[in-house]
A and B are shown apart, each in its own frame.
Chain A
Amino acid sequence: MVLRKGLFKKPKNDLEGVSWDASGISVPDKTYFSCAGCRRMILTSDLEENLWICPRCGHYHKVPARTRLSWITDEGSFSELFADIEGIDALDFPGYRERLARERAKSGEREAVVCGTARVGGYACAVFVMEPFFLIGSMGTAVGEKITSLFEYAAKKRLPVLGYTVSGGARMQEGILSLMQMAKTSGAVKRHSDRGLLYAAVLTDPTTGGVTASFAMEADVILAEPGALICFAGPRVIEQTIRKKLPAGFQRAEFLLAKGFVDDIVQRDRQKAYLTTLLSLHCEGGPGCEGYRTGTGGALA
């Protein structure tokens, strides 16, 4: 992985935080890197051992999708689905093909979300984790198709869905087709929901735009990571519109909790235990996912 330009760039708006920039996200990959929270030099290995949370200031850094999967899923249980679906340049948009190639090289992923089935604390579930290092997790047709297919699969197999969101919103380069993915994914979430199945989402920094206004906000249980920016319109756009400064902490996870838009904020080291308990409360003997408890299930066979 290459150290991206812009790692030390100041954000255009303080509320957006240092590490979020429309041009791309820095992947810490050298021996040391500068923490976006405290700007001190941190050993990359220290960061990784600390769940990508700065050991000095506690800042939550962005995490590659497969690293998250390794934290959340039971060892060896993840089985990827829909891996071959990838973005297409349907509108012949300038520079998009090259951008896709660069994002693939940078992230090692073919698209901005990883989907599959796994066990979490012994419970079988469908999972999706969005990839912050692929076009900031933006939603084009491939992301929409993968999320939709996952919810359809989970509805058919009667599996709960756990999802981690991170997204700059709808992917501009696929134009109106990206916008339509908001409706498409919402339809699949609703069908899954109407079968009495659980969907829990963990919103991570940043979750914005068309993803916030579709499947991120449609979960039965909505959790957030500390400090995550969660919004429809970003702070920069709002400040340009209303021509005044927004208060500190605006649109952060703690703000959304206070305003009643997320169920709770869960620290990284507690997430697996939390999700396991949540699954147990919905799956043990319940009508939602009978037969998919530890050791009983054909769902993942």
Chain B
Amino acid sequence: MKAIERVQAARSPKRPTAASYIANIFTDFLEMHGDRRFGDDSAVVAGIGRLKGRPVTVVALEKGRGTEEKIRRNFGSANPEGYRKALRQMKLAEKFSRPVVCLVDTAGAYPGQGAEERGQGQAIAENLMTLMTLKTPVISVLIGEGGSGGALALAVADEVWMLENAVYSVISPEGCASILWKDSSKSAEAAERLKLTAEELYGLGVIERVIPEAGEDFGPVYAALSEGLGAALERYSGMTTEELLERRYMRFRRMGGSGG
């Protein structure tokens, strides 16, 4: 499968969004709204639930299904209050020693006037800094699109996993093509060059695990995630805070460093 086909699959309107994952993987889910600063961003769904009996915090970027919901969710592109809502729930997770599971699916942080006025850059930066030393395990799963800083703000984690057809990139293939060749129709070539597929990112050491997909039936995906997340959270919850944070720091420290 070509890289651009993965991009198309990741963006497909038929693809389940975060809400389906939450419904199929977690029980007792209680959604929590608002950032206590400005408002409630519907592009971010956050709350508490159980994973195999263990209380966990879930933070997800939600694109919505159907036109009406997509508009309400701003197509999964969060404003600063969305990132601040996520951060609030993560800090509560730390307080109550609950692990955090992030589900990432976004074309990117919303490039809007209000978003900039309210500090989109500052909101993302604060998430990166806080997540880097959040004293509880964090696992992020890219379930569809992983668009640049807006995705990374929920993907500073102990492990990052991707679904087989998810993509993760510093820039969209269209954006890359228009800068490189002044021609956004060359996005297929840009997609190849950017190395944004799960398989390639696994090869680059940027993610720990690729979750296989089986066409339109996501049942096996939910089952694999439920099992996998359960086991991973068990493992990370057994670590001392010091060990956990040192591992997380080094996970990113080695990327693009002198150590390769």
Q: Which residues in window 121-178 of A have CB below 8 A to B?
A: 140-141, 144-145, 148, 170-172, 174-178
| Contact indicator A217/B255 (Cβ below 8 Å) | no
Which residues of B lie under 8 Å from residue A178 when comparing CB positions? 170, 256
Cβ-neighbour of B176 out of A172, A237, A250 (below 8 A) = A172
B79 to chain A minimum Cβ distance, whole angstroms, is 11
Chain B's closest residue to A187 (CB) is B132
A180 to chain B minimum Cβ distance, whole angstroms, is 4
Stretch from B10-18, B65-73, B116-124 at the A interface: B116-124
Which residues of B lie under 8 Å from residue A172 when comparing CB positions? 170-171, 176, 179-180
Is B9 part of the binding interface, using a Cβ–Cβ cutoff of 8 Å? Answer: no
Cβ-neighbour of B129 out of A179, A212, A218, A250 (below 8 A) = A218
| Contact indicator A170/B170 (Cβ below 8 Å) | yes
Is A295 part of the binding interface, using a Cβ–Cβ cutoff of 8 Å? Answer: no
Q: Which residues in window 159-206 of A have CB below 8 A to B?
A: 170-172, 174-184, 186-191, 193-194
CA distance A178 to B196 in the complex (A): 12
Q: Do most interface residues of chain A lie in helix, strand or loop, or is the interface mixed?
A: helix
| Contact indicator A94/B180 (Cβ below 8 Å) | yes
CA distance A145 to B254 in the complex (A): 9
| Contact indicator B125/A212 (Cβ below 8 Å) | yes
Which residues of B lie under 8 Å from residue A257 when comparing CB positions? none
Query: How many residues of chain B are within 8 Å of chain A by beta carbon?
Result: 48
Is A85 part of the binding interface, using a Cβ–Cβ cutoff of 8 Å? Answer: yes
Is A105 part of the binding interface, using a Cβ–Cβ cutoff of 8 Å? Answer: no
CA distance A193 to B180 in the complex (A): 38
Q: Which residues in window 230-262 of A have CB below 8 A to B?
A: 230-233, 237-238, 241-242, 246, 250-251, 259-261
Given contacts A175-B194, A176-B196, A179-B170, contact A186 B128 (CB under 8 A): yes
CA distance A238 to B118 in the complex (A): 14
Which residues of B lie under 8 Å from residue A171 when comparing CB positions? 170
Is B61 part of the binding interface, using a Cβ–Cβ cutoff of 8 Å? Answer: no
Stretch from B41-49, B106-114, B208-216, B234-242 at the A interface: B106-114
B63 to chain A minimum Cβ distance, whole angstroms, is 16
Is B133 part of the binding interface, using a Cβ–Cβ cutoff of 8 Å? Answer: yes
B51 to chain A minimum Cβ distance, whole angstroms, is 24
Query: How many residues of chain A are within 8 Å of chain B by beta carbon?
Result: 57
A-B CB contacts (within 8 Å), total count:
168
Is B187 part of the binding interface, using a Cβ–Cβ cutoff of 8 Å? Answer: no
| Contact indicator B122/A181 (Cβ below 8 Å) | no
Which residues of A lie under 8 Å from residue B116 when comparing CB positions? 231-233, 238, 250-251
CA distance A145 to B253 in the complex (A): 8
A279 to chain B minimum Cβ distance, whole angstroms, is 22
Is A281 part of the binding interface, using a Cβ–Cβ cutoff of 8 Å? Answer: no
| Contact indicator B148/A179 (Cβ below 8 Å) | yes
Which residues of B lie under 8 Å from residue A237 when comparing CB positions? 111
Most buried by B among A174, A188, A194: A188
Which residues of A lie under 8 Å from residue B180 when comparing CB positions? 94-95, 172
| Contact indicator A145/B257 (Cβ below 8 Å) | yes
Inter-chain pairs besides A145-B257, A180-B256, A209-B149, 14 sampled, C-beta below 8 Å: A93-B193, A144-B256, A176-B170, A176-B195, A180-B255, A182-B128, A186-B156, A187-B129, A212-B125, A213-B128, A217-B122, A232-B120, A241-B110, A242-B113
Top-4 shortest CB links A-B: A141-B256, A233-B111, A212-B121, A232-B121
Q: What are 9 A-B contacts with C-beta separation under 8 Å? A: A95-B180, A172-B176, A179-B149, A181-B255, A183-B152, A184-B257, A187-B132, A188-B253, A217-B125
